[in-house]
Structure 1
Amino acid sequence: MTAVGIDAIEIWTGKLKLDLAETFAPEKGEDPEKYTKGLGLHASSFPDAHEDIVTMGANAAHRLMERKGLKPDDIGRIDVATESSFDNSKPVSTYIAGCLESVYDGDFHHANKGERKFACIAGTQSLDDAYNWIKAGRNRGRSALVVATDTALYARGDPGEATQGAGAVAMLITEEPSLVALSTEQGYGSADETDFLKPNQQFPSVDGKRSMQVYLARMREALEDYESVAGASHPDDFAYVPFHTPFPGMVRKAAVLAYRHMIRDTPIEEDLAEEIGFQPREEDYEDREAYKEAIREHMDALGSTAAYQEWYDAAIEPTLDISREVGNWYTGSVHIARAAALKRAAEDGRDLAGEVLGVGSYGSGAQAEVHAETVRDGWKEEIDQLNVDEQIDDRYDLSFAEYENVHDRHNHDKSVELEDFTIPESEFVFTGRGRMNERTYEYVE
């Protein structure tokens, strides 16, 4: 059976940085550890004045195409996943294709283009679409380009303000990929929820407590659904488990839930029972509230065990390396979690070929997806091409007043002029608006 999956990946982070401990926390009169330990975030990335979701996505895609020696004719599909779109009709993929056509001979006139929207899960849904397109034999030997690009901004003063971020991930989907092959088996958890939404508005309306509950409930459903087709999962099955990461603190909650589920009725649970007891079973409780309270207490105890901590440090913690420095990228967040895990493995000299990742994606509104990815022989060569560390280190460090100006610059309801903090070089930039209010772009050498 022909494998289909991610052949290559490139990352483009917004070129500005807001330090949460040194800059944000003092202005808010907060303890820095509220952000660094509570949320698990150190800094956020923001777009410069000349950046937006198109430039970040186009720059990531351009770098990927250049590195892989691709031309437009090699691409038969361009899908952009975003929840930061500025047009309710014209998809961001057409803008990105237009940018790329300005630097290549040839065009994407015969490539299918679209835009996916389902909050943060849309990037994974776009991967699924590309996978299905290739598996159906409709690609004619061509590859698919999937771009997840977002500016995750909140209204100033909103509790979510500290989790903001901006960046893009571009992925090349092919037959016999070099990086990871996607599993045929998938699991879904989906329900009509109003935990996070943007009804004709740029900044989200968020029920934070409800959003965390929905995230965990849908993840549990997706894992159960995945196991219904793939068989029972076990912590030893996965080298890493990248989750959607709105902030690392959320992943800490999802990870202990997943671990509890995977060890149920296994020797691991039996061994831990001597320390914290067996997991509560609902049939042993007449009152569902009493059962739920028992589960909460058991999960708190489980999260403190050495067995769980060892698994978390090996399978989860490495996936957070990039996110804690750049914040939430919405559709891109699970994909930078995957990249972070593979990058850590390469740095540690670990041979991952043939090992499996368990990927948990989520989008508010709400849906989760769980699938597996098998690491391919060429994974290290691909991951070694990433320069995300250099990008993170090179960001301009904003003062709080500068941050407020940047936020206003990217507020769709404001018209704010702002000088660039960085000098564009070998990249696409936003240049203004055309006669129909369309956004315009050019490539700067």
Structure 2
Amino acid sequence: MNIGIDKMSFYVPPYYVDMTDLAHARDQEPDKFHIGIGQDEQAVSPANIDIITMAANAADKILTAEDRASIDMVIVGTESSVDESKASAVVLHHLLGIQPFARAFEIKEACYGATAALIMAKHHIAMSPGDDHKVLVIASDIARYGLNTGGEPTQGAGAVAMLVTENPSILVLEDDSVALTQDIYDFWRITGDEFPTVEGKLSNETYINAFAKVWTEYKNRTGLDFSDFKALTFHTPYTKMGKKALLPQTDDKHLLEEFERAIVYNRRVGNLYTGSLFLNLISLLENATDLESGDKIGLFSYGSGSVAEFFSAQLVNGFENHLLKNFHENMLDNRKALTIFEYEKMFNSTEILESDIKFALHDVTDKVRHYNNA
């Protein structure tokens, strides 16, 4: 049975800060941000755009009335939840008009959560095959470390939505995943803390070592090597991170060229936490020029704490006809560039302003969040 990603899209807030401007404001050389960590722009989210609104805007773009009637599971991978009890997926189920007899819940494990959701969606479809069973998987996060902090250049915000079905139109998920769990405090956020605690050097080392470990185990189990893949995609908290993990393992010229195509969108958005890997995937599919049906794509997922997984997918014939390259490029190109003053004001503001965005937070009364559907 072929199960995988039938549709996918992403959404980012309509504001960003240029990394050259941020570097100057922080008395840093711009090359430290543009070359050192590989970031050019950073998405900025105002108070009326939270993980629910970003998720709804990402998913709404790809769902038809038929999809909404067939989806029987909604899963959100996030580490930016707005409620310690009620899942954002429940609110999304309502906002998106999904048929009522569906499961809806969140998954949390740092940046790995959406990968767990994707694997769970695949297993759900395998247990209940047919066109009337679909799963909506959404990764939605706001990466915040605070103003004028070491992590500030790796902030970002956005959501990626994926519809998982039998006989998908874009990618078939293979049965070859290898996961690794290690109890390591490289990045964490205690309940109640606004910003995470980060051990930067340890986090980088853990990421690189995790890739080496799961890749070695993957090769041992499958007998495959880098030459069997057309491209590899990575969780990208900043775009240089994936390259730091890849280079010690291979100097394959083609894989490195494809890596550059896979970070085009990430360079313009910043860190999406759970969505970073899948934004990387969309960027690859929409910017690579030599992908073909049957090509094997590798995916490396990493979530601090830590859980990592390597798995693969195969491109479906005609996949290019189901991508949204023009829409995504227009969305990125039409964002407003903020001055540093505007960026810092927006970062600190809790004021909920009126918006013409289709799904946005309207107000909060008696601890209840109210969303508009423009």
Distance 1:257 1:424 in 2: 47
Identity level (%): 30
1:48 aligns with 2:51: no
1:333 aligns with 2:276: yes
1:393 aligns with 2:333: yes
Match of 2:316 among 354, 376, 400: 376
Question: Could you tell me which amino acid in structure 2 is paired with residue 424 of structure 1?
Answer: D
Aligned to 2:66: 70
Question: Could you tell me which amino acid in structure 2 is paired with residue 88 of structure 1?
Answer: E
SS where residue 47 of structure 1 aligns? coil
Match of 2:356 among 404, 419, 424: 424
Match of 2:266 among 319, 323, 327: 323
Over 3 Å counting, the alpha-carbon distance change for 1:209 and 1:128 in structure 2 is: same
Distance 2:222 2:361 in 1: 45
Aligned to 2:370: 440
Distance 2:141 2:278 in 1: 13
Distance 1:162 1:237 in 2: 35
SS where residue 105 of structure 2 aligns? strand
Q: Could you tell me which runs of 5 or more consecutive residues in structure 1 were left unpaired when the two chains were aligned.
A: 102-106, 260-307, 410-415
Match of 1:408 among 329, 348, 358: 348
Distance 2:94 2:364 in 1: 15
1:219 aligns with 2:211: yes
Structure having the higher helix fraction is: 1
Over 3 Å counting, the alpha-carbon distance change for 1:248 and 1:381 in structure 2 is: same
Deviation at 1:71, TM superposition (A): 4.5
SS where residue 41 of structure 1 aligns? coil
Aligned to 2:246: 255
Deviation at 1:408, TM superposition (A): 1.2
Aligned to 2:89: 93
1:32 aligns with 2:30: yes
Distance 2:197 2:92 in 1: 28
Structure 1 segment 52-131 matched on structure 2, within 5 A = 52-66=50-64, 69-101=65-97, 107-131=98-122
SS where residue 88 of structure 1 aligns? coil
The one-character-per-residue Cα deviations of 1:69-122 (angstroms, maximum 9, x if unpaired) are 534321010000000002111001011112113xxxxx5321111101011111
The one-character-per-residue Cα deviations of 1:287-343 (angstroms, maximum 9, x if unpaired) are xxxxxxxxxxxxxxxxxxxxx262344231111110001001000000011111111
Aligned to 1:292: none
1:144 aligns with 2:135: yes
Is the Cα–Cα contact under 8 Å of residues 255 and 312 in structure 1 kept in the other structure? no
Is the Cα–Cα contact under 8 Å of residues 189 and 220 in structure 1 kept in the other structure? no
Aligned length: 373
Deviation at 1:190, TM superposition (A): 1.6
Distance 1:108 1:193 in 2: 40
- Worse-matched range after superposition: 242-251 or 308-317: 308-317
Deviation at 1:140, TM superposition (A): 7.8
Deviation at 1:406, TM superposition (A): 1.4
Is the Cα–Cα contact under 8 Å of residues 15 and 48 in structure 1 kept in the other structure? no
Deviation at 1:139, TM superposition (A): 7.3
The one-character-per-residue Cα deviations of 1:51-81 (angstroms, maximum 9, x if unpaired) are 1110110011111104xx5343210100000
Distance 2:121 2:130 in 1: 9
SS where residue 325 of structure 1 aligns? helix
Question: Could you tell me which amino acid in structure 1 is paired with residue 135 of structure 2?
Answer: A
Match of 1:229 among 188, 201, 221: 221
Distance 1:7 1:372 in 2: 15
Distance 1:55 1:145 in 2: 15
The one-character-per-residue Cα deviations of 1:126-175 (angstroms, maximum 9, x if unpaired) are 00000011112277831000000011111222211111111100000000
Distance 1:8 1:195 in 2: 34
Question: Could you tell me which amino acid in structure 2 is paired with residue 15 of structure 1?
Answer: P
SS where residue 185 of structure 1 aligns? coil
Rg: which structure is higher? 1
Over 3 Å counting, the alpha-carbon distance change for 1:91 and 1:138 in structure 2 is: farther
Distance 1:246 1:373 in 2: 22
Is the Cα–Cα contact under 8 Å of residues 70 and 99 in structure 2 kept in the other structure? no
Is the Cα–Cα contact under 8 Å of residues 129 and 166 in structure 2 kept in the other structure? no
Distance 1:213 1:354 in 2: 34
Aligned to 2:3: 4
Distance 2:329 2:158 in 1: 14
The one-character-per-residue Cα deviations of 1:251-284 (angstroms, maximum 9, x if unpaired) are 121111332xxxxxxxxxxxxxxxxxxxxxxxxx
SS where residue 387 of structure 1 aligns? helix
1:132 aligns with 2:123: yes
Is the Cα–Cα contact under 8 Å of residues 3 and 177 in structure 1 kept in the other structure? yes
Deviation at 1:351, TM superposition (A): 4.5
Distance 1:193 1:63 in 2: 38
Over 3 Å counting, the alpha-carbon distance change for 1:42 and 1:231 in structure 2 is: same
Aligned to 1:190: 181
Distance 2:163 2:316 in 1: 14
